[in-house]
Amino acid sequence: MAAYFVFNYRVNDQDAYQPYLAEVPKVLEAHGAEILAADFESEGIEGDPGHVTVVLKFASKEAAREWYHSPEYQKIIALRTDNSDGIAAIANAAGS
């Protein structure tokens, strides 16, 4: 059953964050992820969301977790987490 990894965050240091954008697509592709949405000017409707929203599709929650904890992603994750504030969550597809 498909699962979605959803990120919403605010970038605090654009220069330090840029290398993440260069590297993450390769890691996602290697793990079979599909980028469904990647918006760097998200429109907040409720609460105080960040300006970046990304939705990734994986074959399952397990596949999403494997990508997130993979050595390849862990090598670059700090480029995002050290330079932004926000959230990340995994959700099953509807009907799953």
Residue range 3-92, CATH number = 3.30.70.100
- Count of residues in the chain: 96
pTM of the model: 0.93
Here the tokens at position 78 are 């700090």
pLDDT in tens, 10-62: 999 999 999 999 999 999 999 999 999 999 999 999 999 999 999 999 999 99
Residue-range domain boundaries for the chain: 3-92
pLDDT (average), residues 1-14: 97
